[in-house]
Structure 1
Amino acid sequence: MLADVQAYLSRRENLNSVVVDYIKEAILSGEYKVGDHINESEVANKLGISRAPIREAIRELENDGILTTLPRKGTYVTEYSLDDIKEVFDIRLLLENNINKILIYENKLTEDDFNHLEQIVKDMVSIAESSIDDNKKSLLINKKDMDFHRFIWKKSGSQRRVKILESMFFQLRIAMLYDMLKTGDLIMSATDHYEIIESLRSKDIDRCKNALRGHIISYKDGIFK
C-alpha cells in the first residue's frame, strides 16, 4: 500500500512529464492528428489535473517542435514536412552507421544478441500477420522497430551518439511510422531487419549501410532525393 502511495505521489510531482507522455502517445495513436488543436481544459479534464502542468508540458513540446502555438489562435500539433522527415532520417543514418562500425570493429555483438534481434523481428512478423486492425499493427510494429534499433545503439557503448538518438526518439517514431505507412506492406517492413542482422553478423560495413538505407522505404522508393 505504501509503495502504491509513493508511486502515486512521484507521478503527481512530475505531472508535466505525465502530460508530455500523454500528448505524444495521443499523436502516435492518431487521437491527435496533424493540425489538431490542443485544448488545455480538455486535456486537464481527461487527466484530472490543473492546467498549470498542461502549460509546462506544452512549452516543452513546443521546444521539441512537436507542438506549435500561434498567437491568439492556440496550440496545434505540428505538421512534419517531407524535408523534416528526411532530416530526421539523415541524422539517424549518419549516427547509426557510425554505431554499426563500432559494433563490427570492436566485436560488440554476441550470438545471443543476434538471437535477441531475430526474436524481435519474429515478433514484428507475428503482429503483421495477426487479425488486429492495421492502425494498431502499425503502432505495435513501430514500437518493436524502435526496440530493435535501440538495442543496437546501446550495445555500441557510444553514450553520446545514443543520447542524441534518444533525444530524437519521438521524431524518429513519427518518421518511421510515416515511412511504414507509405507502403502498407508491414511484413516487408518487419523482414527488412533480417538483412541488417546478417550484415552485422558478417561484419560487412558496406552491406550494413545499404541494409539500413534500404530499410527506409522513402529512400528505397526515391521519395528522398
Structure 2
Amino acid sequence: MNIDGLYTHDKMSLRQVVINYIYQAIIDKKYKPREHITETSLSNKLSISRAPVREALSELVAVGILIKVDRVGIFLNTITPAQVLDTYHTKGLVEGYLSNDFMREHDKEDIILLENIVTNMKQDILNDGENQIDIGTKFHKSVLKYSYNKVLLNTLDQVNIKSKLLFFENWSKLYSKQNIIDRHQVIIDSIKSKNAKKVERAIRDHYIQTGKKIAKLVEKNI
C-alpha cells in the first residue's frame, strides 16, 4: 500500500519526501523495530542532502515513531499498546472538537459531499476495496473544512503522523468494509443532529474504537 497521499506532491518538501520514504519502508517491513536508521544511508538512497533528512528524523523522533539514543543514533521505535491508545484518544478529542466548526457552518452541499464520499466507499467495496483508506482520509479532511484553529490543527497533524502509520499497518484486520461505511454514516448523522456533544462523541468514539483494536494487535506482537 502506498502512502504518497499523506502529502500533496506539488507542495512536498524534501523533508516530507524523507518522511514518506520512511513510512513506506516501515509498512513494507524494510525497517524492523530497533533498527538503526542513519542520515547518511537515507541521504544516499534518496539523493537528498543531509539537512532535510535530519529534519525528517527529528520530526519522527518527536512523535515517537523513531527513538534517539544519545551518542548511539536513531532507531525505529517499538510502539506499545499504551502509546496507541494515547494517540487515538488524542486524535478523537481534537478532531471531535474541531468538527463542531463544520457542524455550525456547513450547508446542504457539504452534507451532500460527505454522503457522496460514503457512496464512493460503497462503490469501492464492489471492486477490490483498495481505495478505502484514501476515501476515508477525504471524508475526515472534509469534516475539518471550517476549522481554523492553527494550534489544534497542528496538533492534529502531529498526531496523524503516528496514527496513520499504525492504521496503514493494520487497517485490513480492523473492520469489515460494511462496518467502515456504517462508522462514517454515524458521523454524518451526528452532524445533521446539530448537537455538539453528539458530534464530539461520535468522532471520539470513532477513533477510540480503532485505537483499542490496534492496541490489541500490537500487544499480540510484543
Is the 1:69–1:75 Cα contact (8 Å) retained in structure 2? yes
Structure 2: unaligned runs, 5 residues or longer? 1-10, 217-222
Secondary structure of the 1:85 match is helix
**1:3-82 pair list within 5 angstroms:** 15-28=14-27, 30-38=29-37, 40-51=39-50, 53-70=52-69, 74-82=73-81
Q: Between Structure 1 and Structure 2, how many residues are aligned?
A: 204
Which of residues 157, 160, 163 is equivalent to 1:166? 157
Note the alpha carbon deviations across 1:118-172, whole angstroms, 9 max, x for none: 222233334444337xxxx3xx433332322222123233333223212322123
- More contact order relative to length (CA 8 Å, sep ≥ 6): 2
**How far did residue 97 of structure 1 move?**
2.7
Secondary structure of the 1:65 match is coil
**Matched residues in 1 for 2:162 and 2:21: separation?**
16
Note the alpha carbon deviations across 1:176-222, whole angstroms, 9 max, x for none: 4466344342331233101101110121334334432443334787x
Partner of 1:120: 117
Is the 2:63–2:158 Cα contact (8 Å) retained in structure 1? no
* Pair 115,36 (structure 1): closer, same or farther in 2 beyond 3 Å: farther
Percent identity over the alignment? Answer: 26
Partner of 2:220: none
Which of residues 108, 113, 118 is equivalent to 1:111? 108
Task: Verify: 1:155 aligned to 2:152, yes or no.
Answer: no
* Pair 32,109 (structure 1): closer, same or farther in 2 beyond 3 Å: farther
Note the alpha carbon deviations across 1:54-96, whole angstroms, 9 max, x for none: 3443233223322123457643222221111111222222222
**How far did residue 53 of structure 1 move?**
4.2
Which of residues 176, 190, 200 is equivalent to 2:181? 190
**1:87-106 pair list within 5 angstroms:** 87-104=86-103
TM-score, normalising length: structure 2: 0.71
Higher-Rg structure is 1
**Matched residues in 2 for 1:117 and 1:30: separation?**
34
**Matched residues in 2 for 1:64 and 1:184: separation?**
26
**Matched residues in 1 for 2:212 and 2:54: separation?**
41
Partner of 2:7: none
The CA RMSD over aligned residues, in Å, is 3.3
Secondary structure of the 1:69 match is strand
**Matched residues in 1 for 2:159 and 2:194: separation?**
27
**Matched residues in 2 for 1:47 and 1:220: separation?**
36
Structure 1: unaligned runs, 5 residues or longer? 1-9
TM-score, normalising length: structure 1: 0.71
